[in-house]
Structure 1
Amino acid sequence: MAAWVGARRLVSTSAVLGRKINPYSPTPRPWPILPHDAVAQVNTPEQKMLKEKEKGSWKDLTIEEKKAIYRMTFPLTIAEINASNGEWKYVLGGVMCAISVGIFFSVITKQYFGPQPPYTYTKEWQELDKKARIPPTVIG
């Protein structure tokens, strides 16, 4: 069984239950920083050449070649993964719009479609209530 998010398979429930994950399986992993395959994807001739050089001695490789091999396996660094992409601005804007629309409709509903105030709020009722609350004077 697998957990799904939208149309993508997120993680196998066997991984959630504590079973071992096969590192050579083509299924997506629950962590984004590891390579998707056991071996990095080789697409261009330069990458194929670096992959062949990688099989030899690493002392013969330059620092740039080592960085290129690392980038083939791990396309993003931790800092690049954790970097903000500005999505929070759209989420905050959407939440504010939803709140303002809700407030607008509640005010309009109360003002035009709300129930009438009780009759005890009228001036006539309040004056009669004041007269009824005045204690009767004792005529002597």
Structure 2
Amino acid sequence: MTADRGGLQSVCKWRRLRLLGTLATLTVRLEVPVYGSPISLMLVIRAIQSRVSNLPTVFSRSATAVLSPLEKKYFPQIGNREIVGYGRSGVPTYYDDISCPFPAIRFRNHDDKIEVLRKKEEGPWNNLTIDEVKTLYRHSFCRTLAESMAPTGMWKMGFAWGFMVMTVGLFFFLYVRLFIVDVPVNVMQLPEYREALQYKKVLGRIGPVHELHNFDVKTRRFRE
């Protein structure tokens, strides 16, 4: 018991020293005037409270947007959007999916206007106008199920990219064919080659020979 009591006293003493150090630091930073010695703790606290209340507010949030511990954990990523369920994987992210039509968080941030509509939604729905119903829906969801299942027309983009790639490839082929590569002439299409082939067939007696009646055996030439 003596050891436990001594440990508790040391912890309390450490907390007091830490509190006094924090107050001294705030006193120096906020330039709180200190008169006399020892320092009156209540006067220092009141002076610090008055100075802090006059400081400009860097970031303020609506009083209606009270965050749960889970929302505070994911606040930098999801902002002020309300977590309403498990979602698709348990991570509070918004994603439109037909197989999982209920996202974990709402689509838009929570504000005072939506808070008024939420309170009105708790009453009879006949009091809500069509625009208010649409506003409530668009606050929770980005698209309807019909909009999610509607064709997106992405196949047109695919065809466009395909034709673009083929056009670039065709122009590149023409450029290489006309300005870079010197394609040799096909020898088999020359008249000299055809005439030599006819002589070879006649003299070697190989295969059929066209216009054989024009061939002169003495001169071994075709007649003009």
Name 1:46's counterpart in structure 2.
Answer: 113
Q: Retained in 1: the 8 A contact 2:94–2:107?
A: no
Q: Which runs of 5+ in 2 are unaligned?
A: 1-85, 207-211, 218-224
Contact preservation (8 Å) 1:40, 1:73: yes
What TM-score results when the alignment is normalised by the length of structure 1? 0.56
Which residue in the other structure is 1:57 paired with? 123
Cα RMSD (Å) = 3.6
Q: Is 1:109 paired with 2:176?
A: yes
The answer (yes or no) to whether the contact 1:29–1:36 under 8 Å persists in 2 is yes
Structure 1 residues without counterparts, runs of 5 or longer: 1-21
Task: Give 1:101 shift.
Answer: 1.9
Amino acid at match of 2:195: E
Residue 52 to residue 74, structure 1, CA distance change in 2 (3 Å): same
**Quick check: which one's strand share is greater?**
1
Matched residues, number = 115
Q: Which has the higher contact order (CA 8 A, sep 6+)?
A: 1
Give % identity: 19
Report the CA distance between 1:127 and its aligned residue: 1.0
1:77 match: 144
Counterpart residue number, 1:130: 198
Distance 1:31 1:49, change over 3 A: same
- Bigger Rg over Cα: 2
Residues in 2 aligned to 1:40 and 1:83: alpha-carbon distance in whole angstroms: 22
Secondary structure of 2:142's partner?
coil
Give the aligned residue type for 2:91. Answer: S
- Cα deviations by residue, 1:47-92 (Å, 9 ceiling, x for unpaired): 11112223x23445324233322222123223444264x7655554
1:95 aligns with 2:162: yes
- In the TM superposition, what is the alpha-carbon distance from 1:129 to its structure 2 partner? 0.4
Q: Per-residue CA shift, 1:19-57, capped at 9, x if unaligned?
A: xxx425214547278464345644442211112223x23
Q: Does 1:66 align with 2:133?
A: yes
Distance in 1, matches of 2:97 and 2:114, equals 25
Amino acid at match of 1:57: G
Structure 1 letter corresponding to 2:200: A
